[in-house]
Structure 1
Amino acid sequence: MSLDVMPLDFALIWAATASLIAGITRGFSGFGGALIFVPLVSAAFGPEVAVPALLIVDTAMTAPIVTRALPRCTWGEVAPLGIGAVLTVPLGVALLKQMDPTTLRWCLSGLALALLALLVSGWRHSGQVRWWGSLVVGAAAGVFGGAAQMSGPVVVAYWLGSRHNATQVRLNLFGFFFIATLASALAYALGGLFTWQVLKLSLLLGPLYAAGLWLGSHAFARASDRHYRIAAYVVIGAAAFGSLPLFDALLRH
């Protein structure tokens, strides 16, 4: 669907709503924006438009938050994950360009549901993970990040499975996403994914995403650790369910 002739129809309203909710989620939890934005906007415009559009919007709109968060990250934990992600982002980009879009979306929804089940089960790790273990987690996140800007679920499961409080998890996430985003941006540019259609969609959805970030950030300041975890679970579950290709028929009416 071309934005040059696209009317203000249900598909655009769907994408705009998804952008607002994604921004609220990202501002509150430090992750989850892609879990909502990519599958839902992909249903209207396809993954090769939705994924690079999110990278542009999220990078531009979260810059002030990221700048404040970077000095407060636990870089000894963030760096190995970031290195692992950088190494595998190109593999994720290759999947984005070559894999059937519907199949890719089924895989992403399945990933989100599997990680939600893991978190809700009460699983925790000791927190004493060796450097190579962190690299593996980062590498897995890099594949999903390159394919759909969805590196968050893997890393969130890793850090929420530790003993970190909500504030430190959120700060570390911003640091990790900073590294992963730089790698993804380079790979997308080399792959020719930053098209004129992507830019126009980014300009349309960016203001709503920014408004959501502001609302989410202010809500986080009033939230407890328990509320943070519950919100994370709800975000993952709702995004996985709502993004199932089963609902694509709604966008064709």
Structure 2
Amino acid sequence: MADFAIAGFALWQVGIALAATLASAFVRGLAGFGMAILLVPVIALALDPVQAVMTANLLGLLVGLTEWRWIMGYAERSARTISAMVALTTLPGLVVLALTPAPLARLLIAIVALSAFAAMLMPPRKAAVHGRPATLAVGAASGLLTGFAGMPGPPVVPYYVGRPIPREVAKASMILIFTVAGGIGLMSGAVLGELDLRLLALALSLFPVVVIGNWLGRKASGHVGDKAWRIFAAAVLGAAALAAILKL
């Protein structure tokens, strides 16, 4: 039994990935963000950091494509600008990840998750519509983090959450960016030779769990207030980041 494997990965690795995927997909469905932020630090405990990032990108792309019609119906125009910047800056971030020793990469990914956790604890600000320079900066930072950590969310979430826009618009805008980020991350990984076919097999085996978790989160979203889902997401995010640091 110790040698039993799925898609070339040990059973314990798949088990960690399954549990993390279900929890992170639920948060995504509930809040519109958080899947990569929650998923990458946890599965990086079982997989190589590059494998963890590639797996998160694959899952983000697949689940985003299932919601494409809804996304394009609600997303803000700013999401397209940010997505274009993500396309330009993801590859440099992935190059840095490929050159970074695995223990240091895990630590930096955990720090990114912790910083996002801290940002979520801050009260939302009713900001005005952001100007083009701020939008471009958010896109550049999101792309770099997509490549290095598989986490486009930390710059994007504060940009949308708390603004005086409908919740569906904020969620669709963020998910559009995350879907594009997943696709760009995969293409960048392929260019660098980091896209392993085993990861595709693993992602496809995890995808039904993503669909279930995302569906449950969307169902719960209509019954959970903003304060409750922020507390839930922050708690899971903090636990994931802490686990990654303790592993080091």
Fold shared by both chains (TM-score > 0.5): yes
Q: Distance in 1 between matches of 2:61 and 2:131?
A: 30
Evaluate the alpha carbon distance shift between residue 12 and residue 231 of structure 1 in structure 2; reply closer, same or farther with a 3 A threshold.
Answer: same
Amino acid of the residue matched to residue 47 of structure 1? Answer: P
TM-score relative to the length of structure 1: 0.86
1:136: how far off?
0.6
1:201 corresponds in structure 2 to 202
TM-superposed CA distance for 1:165, in Å, is 4.4
The code of the aligned residue for 2:15 comes to I
Conserved? CA contact 1:126–1:162, under 8 Å? yes
Larger deviation, residues 58-67 vs 186-195: 58-67
Work out whether residues 20 and 212 of structure 1, in 8 Å CA contact, stay in contact via their aligned partners in 2: yes
| Matched residue, 1:42 | 44
Unaligned runs of 5+ in 1: 249-253
* Counterpart Cα distance in 1 of 2:211 and 2:175: 16
CA RMSD of superposed structures (Å): 2.4
Superposition deviation, residue 170 in structure 1: 0.9
1: distance between equivalents of 2:176 and 2:24?
19
Q: Deviations over 1:200-242 (max 9, x none)?
A: 3223322222221121121112222333333343343233223
Distance 1:189 1:11, change over 3 A: closer
How many percent identity over aligned positions? 26
TM-score, normalised with respect to structure 2: 0.87
* CA shift for structure 1 position 18: 0.9
Residue 29 of structure 2 is matched in structure 1 by 27
Asked if the contact 1:166–1:228 (Cα under 8 Å) also holds between the matched residues in 2, the reply is no
C-alpha separation between the residues in 2 aligned to 1:238 and 1:24? 16
**1:251 maps to which residue?**
none
The amino acid of 2:198's aligned partner reads Q
Aligned 8 A contact 1:124 1:162 in 2? yes
Q: How many residues align?
A: 245
Contact 2:54 2:199 in 1 (8 A): yes
Instruction: Tell me whether 1:100 sits opposite 2:128 in the alignment.
Output: no
Shift of 1:6: 4.8
Alpha-carbon distance in structure 2 between the residues aligned to 1:215 and 1:227: 16
Q: Shift of residue 187 of structure 1?
A: 1.2
Q: Which amino acid aligns with 1:110?
A: I
In 2, are the aligned partners of 1:61 and 1:209 still within 8 Å (CA)? yes
Q: After the TM superposition, which residues 223-234 of structure 1 pair with which residues of structure 2 at under 5 Å, given as runs?
A: 223-234=224-235
Q: 1:146 Cα deviation (Å)?
A: 1.3
Partner of 1:15: 17
